[in-house]
């Protein structure tokens, strides 16, 4: 059984540390996720993370426990958790890291107090899917580049 989890969380480190902290998260996560069969995407805005992970149910459960107790973020809020019969992502990647106020608008409604609105979750998942989509390779292949 495949499982998909989407969560949002808040950084616990200073903005000036972001590049180093996020690099230290991403490099091992890329290796570990590839070996576990986990795919998905992570975005890091100025203050928040949003991540989708998908993979075998038991693997996602264990990974989510690790992520939940990681001191590099707090207020980890799962906004979607469900079974799925197909993968939406071909690999796991850091899809965005930066201070874009626009990307923050996808995360902010979900970290704000109050009920999670499914439409906001769908909007975030759509953003993650679009950012992580491997567009360049097929295009290059189509025009005969190596
Ligand atoms: C925002 C965020 C996202 C993370 N995503 C992943 C991930 O996708 N895969 C992964 O192996 N570790 C990820 N980590 C790191 C885990 O929290 C944890 O450090 C790592 O899995 C080792 O866990 P362990 O100490 O329980 O063995 C993430 C950490 C943070 C703060």
Q: Looking at ligand 1, which residue's alpha carbon is closest to its atom 23?
A: 66
Question: Bigger pLDDT: 135 or 64?
Answer: 64
Q: What is the pLDDT of residue 146?
A: 57
Tell me if 72 sits within 8 A of 19, measured CB to CB. Answer: no
Tell me if 80 sits within 8 A of 4, measured CB to CB. Answer: yes
Domain tally, the chain: 1
Angle between helices 57-68 and 18-36 (to 10 degrees): 160
Q: What digits encode the pLDDT tens for the residues 3-27?
A: 999 999 999 999 999 999 999 999 9
Q: What digits encode the pLDDT tens for the residues 52-103?
A: 999 999 999 999 999 999 999 999 999 999 998 888 999 999 999 999 999 9
> Is residue 139 predicted with pLDDT exceeding 70?
no
Short-list 111, 114, 135, CA closest to 6: 111
**Residue of 50, 61, 67 best suited for mutating to test ligand 1, as the one with most atoms within 8 Å of CB:** 67
Q: Looking at ligand 1, which residue's alpha carbon is closest to its atom 1?
A: 49
| Domain span holding position 28 | 2-142
CA of 28 to the centre of ligand 1 (A): 8
Q: What is the CATH classification number for the domain harbouring 18?
A: 3.30.70.100
Over residues 29-54, the mean pLDDT reads: 97
Give the pocket of ligand 1 (CB within 6 Å).
25, 29, 32-33, 42, 49, 51, 53, 63, 66-67, 70, 72-73
CA distance 126 to 47: 20
């Amino acid at each position: 059984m495949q499982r998909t989890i989407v969560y949002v969380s808040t950084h616990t480190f200073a903005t000036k540390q972001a590049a180093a902290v996020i690099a230290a998260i991403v490099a091992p996560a890329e290796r570990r996720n590839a070996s576990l069969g986990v795919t998905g995407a992570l975005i890091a805005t100025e203050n928040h993370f949003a991540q989708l992970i998908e993979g075998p149910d038991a693997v996602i459960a264990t990974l989510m426990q690790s992520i939940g107790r990681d001191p590099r973020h707090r207020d980890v809020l799962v906004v979607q958790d469900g079974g799925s019969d197909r993968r939406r992502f071909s690999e796991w990647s850091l899809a965005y890291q930066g201070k874009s106020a626009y990307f923050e608008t996808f995360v902010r409604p979900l970290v704000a107090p109050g009920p999670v609105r499914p439409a906001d979750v769908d909007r975030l998942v759509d953003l993650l899917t679009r950012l992580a989509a491997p567009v360049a390779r097929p295009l290059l292949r189509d025009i005969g580049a190596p």
